[in-house]
Chains A and B, each alone.
Chain A
């Protein structure tokens, strides 16, 4: 199963773009990259996922490098409510989603 590496924490100013990196150098060809976030004491919330093409939805954009060994989640205009732990996950065998330590994003006023 591919593992992911993320920075432990990041800060971002309110209204600016938040760019959260993730390394997944051992990803295999049919594995998807998922992003979730967890606000304190709540269940995780789905953000976006992709295979190899860049993806965009109402919450964020996902940029996946051509070799698929890394990706970046972009929150275009971060707000205080985006403060959360962000998890980058590669789909594991048996369709289990296993979580790493994630990145604590703090959006500052």
Chain B
């Protein structure tokens, strides 16, 4: 299957700093990427949909100024957690679907990024 790579896999940062997480589709072009957040013992919560070349669409309750998403190319989307606080500590996961085949096609997920804010 196709590969989606996230970097870093684990990051610890100080409260008040910003952290950038990268999501790359390694062997296919992804018009659309998705960002999820997962707290311990909970399911994945969709945060936003990232479309190449346009602004991301955020789910209700997700602060767009705190979670900056950039999707500058068909293979790269980034999520920046700005002014991180301990409550932002979570497991962040991205996924991607193939270009022009968004419906009826599986999504591929990255391995996730464990963010710890101290």
Question: Which residues of chain A have a CB within 8 Å of any CB of chain B?
Answer: 32, 34, 36, 38, 41-46, 49, 51, 87, 91, 94-102
Give chain B interface residues in 77-111, CB to chain A under 8 Å.
91, 93, 95, 97, 102-104, 106-111
Q: How large is the interface on B (under 10, 10 to 19, 20 to 34, 35 or more residues)?
A: 20 to 34
Report whether over half of chain A's contact residues are helix, strand or loop; otherwise say mixed: loop
Pair B106/A34 contact, Cβ less than 8 Å: yes
Pair A95/B32 contact, Cβ less than 8 Å: yes
* Complex Cα spacing A51 to B109, Å: 22
Residues on B with C-beta less than 8 A from A101 are 43
Pair B32/A43 contact, Cβ less than 8 Å: no
* Complex Cα spacing A76 to B106, Å: 22
Q: Which residue of B lies closest to A97 (CB)?
A: B107
Residues on B with C-beta less than 8 A from A32 are 103-104
Pair A42/B111 contact, Cβ less than 8 Å: yes
The 4 A-B pairs at the shortest CB distance, nearest first, are namely A43-B109, A46-B106, A99-B44, A95-B102
Pair A97/B95 contact, Cβ less than 8 Å: yes
Q: Which residue of B lies closest to A51 (CB)?
A: B104
